[in-house]
Amino acid sequence: MDKALLAQTAAAMVAPGKGLLAADESAGTCAKRFAAANIPDSEEMRRTYREMLFTTPAMKSTISGVILHDETIRQKTSNGVPFADYLNSIGVIPGIKVDAGTRNLPAAPGELISDGLDNLQARMKEYFALGARFAKWRAVITIGENIPTSRCIWANAHALARYAAICQEAGIVPVVEPEVLLDGDHSIDTSFDVTEAVLRTLMSQMADNKVSIEHTILKASMVISGKDAKNRASQAEVGARTVACLKRTVPGAMPGIVFLSGGQSDIDSAAHLNEMNLGKNNPWPLTFSYSRALHFTALKVWKGKQENYKAAQAAFAHRCKMNSLASKGKWTLAAESA
């Protein structure tokens, strides 16, 4: 384990005012998003879209790293420069998604497990050679009637820990993402309890699997009411309950925590992150690792048309700047309007 390289990468990933851009959608997910914006889907259109995001000038000052898909890390800019090399040239760290998606957990109705551990050691060596210096693995936890079960939580935590150990062995910082889904009508209290149980189990499994917490980044869900809940918690309560849950479960030695937006609106995802950083003395940097909340607006502006390229970059730059402000507790609705 190259601890010096891992420490350098982890610190840069959570540098003040910066966060991660999640651009790791599979071809299938990208096709769905393109279809919603009436954009024809092809590998070249996906490449062009990613290049539009990566060449936005605001990337340099607001984005510390980009999570890439296997397809994207092998692609190049229109000038023939590999995307990983281009990102490095602007001071942005290339990362890679390595889980292979979810499947049903056997004998556990409504619960999922992520695949991708097979041959992961060999894949990590290849990704390191391609330029990746951090990776991401997503586990999915669903809240519903009598779920999640402790078996589901343990199985996903164990897989995350094994993945993280393989990453660190390869000189790559693991981002561990145990996503507690927003789907459902559960209260924020239920969200808190489930998130606490998930994080406690994850930290235990990482210790058992010899994962160095000092060289790991947590990608966490916010503690938030289910999207169908009748009485949804306020932005201030989401911020306070999320930080309280993290302080109960995450060691202060962790270099930083990034958040997924999990289907929240652009405004809510920025406001919630801002609440967590508003005059708080947190033991770790708290910043963003958003996908839709960063670039979905840009996608709708672009519409796959060259004449909309600059306008789409401006829309993406605005979201980058808003979330950069939120990571410092300086976001406001007035800034959104401007």
Catalytic residue annotation: 177, 219
Task: Report the sign of the C-alpha dihedral through residues 331, 332, 336, 338, in that order.
Answer: negative
Whether 179 and 191 have beta carbons less than 8 Å apart is answered as no
What phi and psi, each to the nearest 5 degrees, are found at residue 218?
-90, 130
Residue 32, CB-side half-sphere exposure with 13 Å CA sphere: 5
225, two tokens: 């009411």
Query: Residue 21's beta-bridge partner residues?
Result: 66, 290
- Tell me how far apart the alpha carbons of residues 28 and 32 are, in angstroms, rounded to a whole number: 7
Whether 172 and 255 have beta carbons less than 8 Å apart is answered as no
Place of tokens 């309950």: 241
Q: Which residue type occupies 23?
A: A
- Tell me how far apart the alpha carbons of residues 53 and 259 are, in angstroms, rounded to a whole number: 20
Task: Report the sign of the C-alpha dihedral through residues 180, 184, 189, 194, in that order.
Answer: negative
Please state, as a whole number, how many other Cβ atoms lie within 10 Å of the Cβ of residue 205.
22
Whether 19 and 287 have beta carbons less than 8 Å apart is answered as yes
Place of tokens 């009598």: 146
- Tell me how far apart the alpha carbons of residues 122 and 145 are, in angstroms, rounded to a whole number: 39
270, two tokens: 């920025």
